Amino acid sequence: MRMKKFQLLCFVTLAVVFFWIIWFNRSAVSTISRDELLVDSPQQNIFLNHDLPGKKPNKDASSKNKSNSVVAILDLPTNLNSVDLRGWEVFGSEEAMLWAGRKETESEDERPTPALTFKDRVFYLNEMPFRIFSGAMHYFRVVPEYWMDRLKKLKACGLNTVETYVPWNLHEPSPGIFDFKGILNLRKFINMAAELGLYVILRPGPYICSEFEFGGLPGWLLADPHMRVRTNYRNYIKYVNKYWSVLLPMMLDLQFTEGGPIIMFQVENEYSSYGVDHNHVKLLLYMMREYGVRELVVTSDNVFQLLKDHPEFDVSKYALNTINGHKIDENHLEFVQKQNQHFPIMVMELWCGWFDWWRHDHTTGNIKTLKKTLTYLLDHGGSFNLYMFLGGTNFGFTSGAANLTRYEVVTTSYDYGAALSEAGDTTPKYFLVRDELLKFYKKLGIPYLPEVPPNLPKASY
């Protein structure tokens, strides 16, 4: 009899624990609808009152805030392989130059002007020459309590821009369940950067790579046995459309043209290394524009051989080609010039280190190569995004993996041999970058940079 009572007590206890876990998980994840998410009170556009280089504050931007209105899911064309991108040629192309001379009587709504443009291999931010000196810092790899410390160190390093990916699998862990709270509060991160006068490069994928689980794609996509990710497979595009109908409207009032800090968006990621559907990136570009993205859109690729063999993958008419690598030289300049005489040199990923696999030695990257590449870019009018400025941590089970010759898993640490360590401490690489940028700024009459914040004390828990 006592044994039966004991078994019953154990059963009741397990049931209580089981239902508590379900309740806790449901409350921990922001299970909110599109309507509830998008009508949340937006933060004020901090950049409206900032006197920034090249900034012409838009006094009416707050009245055109897009984040407080529900945006309908985009009606996609029947033929996903044939979208109309006319009118969205990137500035700097011959077509864009012709458009820039349009009659004043034409409607401004036909094509809003991005704040960041380019001509003769020079970026212009609101018509003033501009160089992008960016550092990669992924908000989802750093706890929010440390965001401000890391961003202050980024600015003190001499960088003027912060870049981040946006991981779909974290923001939509289950179909229709969206999470933008805590470490996933993207708007808070962007506004924090704006408080420091930093610009923002946003890379919303939908595929991001970044050595992240499934490249940032949700695993639940594979519930469809016929799923073909990173293509125009209709079911994949349907889910991308739903996700972007939440994410992109949240970003519209944070664009530079609306008084926010975002000056650039990237579509997809290194698609040339995948390259199975040459219409896919064009469709994503179309969707971005239809959802209201007005800033300059770029791609990030190592496209030398791909475009030589497969010219159909070239979308440079509608998005600026940027390049990735750790050694940038005259060969890259020549390639960019062949693409378009106006295209500036933009290294979206200047690799200052590398990620680690389990069972392998820690990779730090060659500091001499970094110095040589930085010097070359600074001397030849280049812009760059230091990947990574701060690597951070792959929390939980979010580390990516590869299965080429054998199955390899990325470590929990995403230190990357970055300018800041995983713990946020400055490194010799940090001061190398800072010294090179300070030399550059002194030539412009800027004698000093902000003081470097001290490293935070450490403790064992």
176 with 220, same domain: the answer is: yes
Of 163, 211, 270, 295, which is the active-site residue?
270
Tell me which DSSP letter residue 115 carries.
S
Q: Which two tokens stand for residue 367?
A: 């500091």
* Res 312 pLDDT > 80: no
**% of the chain surpassing 70 pLDDT:** 77
163-192 tens-digit pLDDT: 999 999 999 999 999 999 999 999 999 999
Supply the pLDDT for residue 309: 61
For residue 278, tell me if it sits in a domain. yes
CA gap 53, 125 in Å, rounded: 8
Residues 20 and 46 in one domain: no
CA–CA separation, 123 vs 227, rounded Å?
40
Q: Is the domain of 66 the same as that of 26?
A: no
Task: Answer whether residue 225 shows pLDDT above 50.
Answer: yes
Specify the range with the lowest mean pLDDT, choosing from 21-25, 261-265, 454-458. Answer: 21-25
Asked if residue 408 is part of any domain, the answer here is: yes
> Is there a domain that residue 455 lies in?
no
- Indicate if the pLDDT at residue 19 is higher than 90: no
How many other C-beta atoms can be found within 10 angstroms of the C-beta atom of residue 288?
Answer: 21
**101 has a pLDDT exceeding 90:** no
Residue 13 belongs to what domain range?
A: 2-30
Name the least confident of 232-236, 265-269, 422-426, 457-461. Answer: 457-461
- pLDDT above 90 for 63: no
Provide the CA 450 distance to its chain's centre, in angstroms. Answer: 25
Q: Please state, in angstroms and rounded to a whole number, the distance separating the CA atoms of residues 263 and 94.
A: 22
- The active-site residue out of 163, 211, 258, 349 is 349
Q: Is the per-residue pLDDT at 104 higher than 50?
A: no
- Contact criterion met (CB below 8 Å) for 165 and 148: no
3-state DSSP call for residue 133?
Answer: strand
Residues 142, 21 share a domain:
no
Cα–Cα distance, 333 to 347 (Å, whole number) = 11
Whether pLDDT at 31 is above 60: no
My answer on whether 195 and 236 are in the same domain is yes
pLDDT band at 39 (very low <50, low <70, confident <90, very high): very low
Q: Helix, strand or coil for residue 300?
A: strand
Q: Distance from CA of residue 254 to its chain's centroid?
A: 14
Q: What is the pLDDT of residues 317-375, one digit of tens each?
A: 899 989 888 888 777 777 777 777 788 999 999 999 999 999 989 888 899 999 999 99
Please check whether residue 154 is in contact with residue 193, taking contact to mean a CB–CB distance below 8 angstroms. no
pLDDT at 251 over 70: yes
Do 193 and 127 lie in one domain? The reply is yes
Q: Higher confidence at residue 20 or residue 181?
A: 181
- Region 246-273: what's the mean pLDDT? 96
Give yes or no: residues 337 and 202 share one domain: yes
Q: How confident is the model at residue 182, as a pLDDT?
A: 98
> 396 and 318, same structural domain?
yes
187 and 330 part of one domain: yes
pLDDT in tens, 281-308: 999 999 999 999 999 999 997 655 555 6
Evaluate the CA torsion angle 98, 55, 294, 378 in order and state its sign: positive
Q: Compute the distance between CA of residue 153 and CA of residue 419 in angstroms, rounded to an integer.
A: 10
pLDDT digits (tens, 9 = 90+) for 118-158: 999 999 999 999 999 999 999 999 999 999 999 999 999 99
Same domain, 136 and 266: yes
C-alpha to C-alpha distance for 425 and 366, rounded to whole angstroms = 19
The DSSP element (H or E) to which 150 belongs, if any, is helix 147-156
Whether 21 shows a pLDDT value over 60: the answer reads: no
Q: Is residue 163 assigned to a domain?
A: yes
Q: What is the CATH number of the domain that holds 84?
A: 3.20.20.80
Residue 419 clears pLDDT 90, i.e. is over it: yes
User: 155 φ, ψ to 5°?
Assistant: -65, -40
How much is the pLDDT for 42? 38
In a domain, 364, yes or no: yes
Name the token pair of 318: 């509608």
Task: Identify whether residues 18 and 106 lie together within a single domain.
Answer: no
Q: Is the peptide bond before 388 cis (omega within 30 degrees of 0)?
A: yes
Q: From 186, 162, 131, 211, select the one nearest 437 (Cα to Cα).
A: 131
Q: What is the mean pLDDT of residues 222-235?
A: 97
Q: In this structure, is residue 459 part of a structural domain?
A: no
349 labelled catalytic: yes
Contact between residue 346 and residue 380 where contact means Cβ atoms under 8 Å apart:
no
For the chain, give the mean pLDDT: 84
User: Each residue of 153-164: b (16+ CB within 10 Å) or e?
Assistant: bbbbbbbbbbbb
User: CA 64, CA 252: separation in Å to the nearest integer?
Assistant: 10
- Whether 410 and 418 have beta carbons less than 8 Å apart is answered as no
The count of other CB atoms within 10 Å of the CB of residue 242 is: 17
CA distances from 282 to 80, 98, 189, 420, 445 (A): 9, 22, 29, 36, 43
Residue type for position 73: I
More confident residue, 73 or 31: 73
For residues 23-29, give the mean pLDDT: 44
334 three-class SS: helix
Give the number of domains in the chain: 2
Separate counts of helices (H) and strands (E) for the chain: 12, 13
Cα–Cα dist 150/161, whole Å: 13
Distance CA 140, CA 167 (A): 8
At 409, list the tokens.
């898993």
Does residue 60 register a pLDDT over 60? no
| pLDDT of 261 higher than 50 | yes
The answer to whether position 460 is within a domain reads: no
Give catalytic status of residue 270 as yes or no: yes
Phi, psi (rounded to 5 degrees) for 68: -105, 20
Describe the chain by its helix, strand, coil percentages, rounded to 5. 40, 15, 45
| CA max distance for the chain | 93
230, 168 Cβ separation under 8 angstroms: no
pLDDT band at 1 (very low <50, low <70, confident <90, very high): low
User: In terms of domains, do 308 and 429 share one?
Assistant: yes
- Of 8, 65, 5, nearest in space to 41 by CA: 65
Of the candidate ranges 34-38, 229-233, 423-427, the one whose mean pLDDT is the lowest:
34-38
User: Domain for residue 405, yes or no?
Assistant: yes
Answer yes or no: are the C-beta atoms of 101 and 74 closer than 8 Å.
no
